[in-house]
Amino acid sequence: MSIRRLPAELINRIAAGEVVERPANALKELLENALDSGASAVSVRLHAGGLELIEASDDGCGMAPEEMRLALERHATSKLPDDAIDRVTSFGFRGEALPSIASVSRVTLESRVRGADGWRIEIDHGQPAGEGPAALPPGTRVKVEGLFDKVPARRKFLRSPRAEYAACLDAVKRLAMARSDVGFTLDHDGRRILTLQPAEPPARVAELLSHELERHGIGIDCVRDGLGLSGVISLPTFNRGVADQQYLFVNSRPVKDRLLIGALRAAYRDLIARDRHPIAALFLDVPLDAVDVNVHPAKTEVRFRDPAAVRGLIVGGLRHALDEESGRSAAREQAAAPVMWSTSQEVRHPDEGRDPVWTPAYAGVQVVAENQRLFEPAPAARAEPAVEPVPSFPLGVARGQVAATYIVAEAEDGLVIVDQHAAHERLVLERMRAARDGGLVARQALLMPEVIELDEPDCDRLEGAAAELGEMGLDVERFGPTAMLVRAVPAALGKTDAAGLLADLAAEIADLGGPLSLRDKLDHVAATIACHGSVRAGRILSVAEMNALLREMEVTPRSGQCNHGRPTWVKLGHGEIEKLFGRK
Ligand SMILES: Nc1ncnc2c1ncn2[C@@H]1O[C@H](COP(=O)(O)OP(=O)(O)OP(=O)(O)O)[C@@H](O)[C@H]1O
Ligand SMILES: [Mg+2]
């Protein structure tokens, strides 16, 4: 590798900006250099979350002493041999990282080319602080100490060692996923945190992401128009409160690109609540000339020549995979664990009072012991005698309703409990979608148009979305500065509280203000409408209604989870029931 100073006109084309803001940025740059040097093993040592020490060692090509001096100069790089900044495949290309880090810390750079002796150069806050021979195996070792010690303006933005450590760990994980063929180790404060042997990408991802994903993940592998997408995503029911486990890569470069994050979000829209986040590791492969990596100082964002195609591949590919898995639900398996269920010992005798017994883990599901039912049927619970043979419906035949909220059904292989509101909401949404996609939205005109008073900004929002709402069967018009007129509602809704619906929709539209496509917005709005049109918890259903709901669920895509990502039903298999009673 020969390092050279870049010509001025090329320097000016490079996305400039602050590269190092905290230890994790510096570590990322060192790791990228190590990977670019052709290393097969990289080790990292950190002290105090990187605030005291960041050290990265590799067994890559190394540098001769004169190259080391050049490497510490600004805009000197070995990675743009023919100025082809639009076809970079290395992580680095700006020649900026090492000098930036060296200007705000004490750096010791040691390096050795195979067959030559090692050399060491020290830099203290941009100033040469000595050099000389060094003993190290072929490769490079960079030590960064006291980052921002002499830059109080920066130092005060640093967080606790714990938080800085978490960010460093994340940086290591991202690059370790990007390059599964390279071995990694990570030590923090003298403790070994990670040891990763070279592996195939899926194995590496499995090692670094939640192991639960082996059970609750969906493998992704699709190609469209020369773009490839592979990786793993979580089932909608296996989600997190923060979006901290989303790892996205473009041509093996870790990115935190808004377009990609937005596309991931859109694929899960209405399968997951807005404040929950899927887990994902996704690798996008695109031709080099279809993407520009030189748009962000930390190289974490990219620009696609055809963003719509990329978005389409991700949303379409993930959605397809999610649809295929729509019957699976993570919570179902958890809920089937016996510990979640109350046993007859926990069911109080009627003498002890009438309160129904709730299991804490699954409040709302009540198992009524047979003898108790003889004395005192729980309020709102009805049971159908199990006389006729059970036809083989996957979700079984309705036997009764519990707490006016859950349908209990008997299937061939076990007992099914359905959350009636969650399930119905899903069905209404899917019906509305199917109708919309088929251009057959049924609307129900109101005999007397309803006037709904709202704030002016809310009215503006609804007025702005009137055409989209109309597509779903909701006809609204502006009626003075602070009111809307509702002329028709989607027939799928039945009788509905128009005022509540409009208020929710206005809030929804305000939230969705971002760069979402029309279709995504429609989907979201449809979900809000569906929630309004659904059978509420607390409504007593007839057996015919219950069975109708079960049959519709069986033929409706994505009916395994509600619009917020919770399961709509759980099943307790015969084997599990036997276990509960100690028969097995
Ligand atoms: N671990 C290493 N092994 C071998 N060479 C290295 C290593 N680290 C840095 N270099 C050399 O030093 C040069 C400067 O590194 P630096 O990180 O400053 O810039 P870069 O990687 O070229 O671009 P960027 O600023 O985008 O990271 C590199 O081009 C490379 O030739
Ligand atoms: Mg670099």
Confidence of residue 184 (pLDDT cuts 50, 70, 90): very high
Confidence of residue 339 (pLDDT cuts 50, 70, 90): very low
Q: What is the tens place of the pLDDT at every residue in 210-226?
A: 777 877 889 999 998 88
> How remote is the CA of residue 48 from the centroid of ligand 2, in Å?
23
What is the number of the ligand 1 atom nearest to the C-alpha of 61? 4
For tokens 């895509």, name the residue: 557
What is the number of the ligand 1 atom nearest to the C-alpha of 98? 18
332 lines ligand 1 (CB under 6 A): no
What is the number of the ligand 1 atom nearest to the C-alpha of 77? 29
CA 16, distance to chain mean position in Å, is 30
What is the bridge-based pairing of β-strands 443-453 and 483-490? antiparallel
Q: What is the tens place of the pLDDT at every residue in 246-270?
A: 999 999 999 988 889 999 999 998 8
CA angle at 26 for the pair 23 and 31, rounded to the nearest 5°: 120
Whether 317 and 283 have beta carbons less than 8 Å apart is answered as: no
> How remote is the CA of residue 300 from the centroid of ligand 1, in Å?
17
What ligand has the least distance to the C-alpha of 94? 1
> How remote is the CA of residue 1 from the centroid of ligand 2, in Å?
13
468 vs 504: CA distance, rounded Å: 15
What ligand has the least distance to the C-alpha of 20? 1
97 lines ligand 1 (CB under 6 A): yes
347 vs 272: CA distance, rounded Å: 34
Query: Following DSSP, what letter does each residue of 92-130 receive, concatenated?
Result: --SS-HHHHHHTTSEEEEEEE-TTS-EEEEEEETTEEEE
118 lines ligand 1 (CB under 6 A): no
Residue bearing the CA closest to ligand 1, atom 31? 78
Query: Which of 418-422, 437-441, 491-495, 527-531 has the largest mean confidence?
Result: 418-422
Say how many C-beta atoms besides its own lie within 10 A of residue 404's C-beta. Answer: 15
What pLDDT does residue 565 have? Answer: 74
The average pLDDT across 547-574 equals: 83
37 lines ligand 1 (CB under 6 A): yes
> How remote is the CA of residue 254 from the centroid of ligand 2, in Å?
14
Mean pLDDT of all residues belonging to the chain: 80
What are 34's two structure tokens?
């190590």
For tokens 């290309």, name the residue: 93
Model pTM?
0.63
Q: Is the dihedral of CA 236, 267, 510, 422 positive or negative?
A: negative
Q: What is the tens place of the pLDDT at every residue in 47-66?
A: 999 999 999 999 999 999 99
What pLDDT does residue 68 have? Answer: 96
What is the bridge-based pairing of β-strands 118-124 and 106-112? antiparallel
What are 341's two structure tokens?
């269920």
Q: How far is CA 337 from CA 127, 362, 366, in A?
A: 63, 11, 15
Residue bearing the CA closest to ligand 1, atom 17? 97
CA 15, distance to chain mean position in Å, is 28
Of 228, 314, 327, the C-alpha closest to 278 is 314
> How remote is the CA of residue 85 from the centroid of ligand 1, in Å?
15
> How remote is the CA of residue 42 from the centroid of ligand 2, in Å?
15
3-state class (DSSP) for residue 236: coil
42 lines ligand 1 (CB under 6 A): no
Whether 476 and 469 have beta carbons less than 8 Å apart is answered as: yes
What pLDDT does residue 498 have? Answer: 80
Of 108, 110, 112, the C-alpha closest to 143 is 108
Question: What phi and psi values does residue 553 have, to the nearest 5 degrees?
Answer: -60, -40
> How remote is the CA of residue 290 from the centroid of ligand 1, in Å?
25
Ligand 1 pocket test: which of 33, 88, 94 has the largest number of ligand atoms within 8 Å of its C-beta? Answer: 33
Of 533, 527, 529, the C-alpha closest to 495 is 533
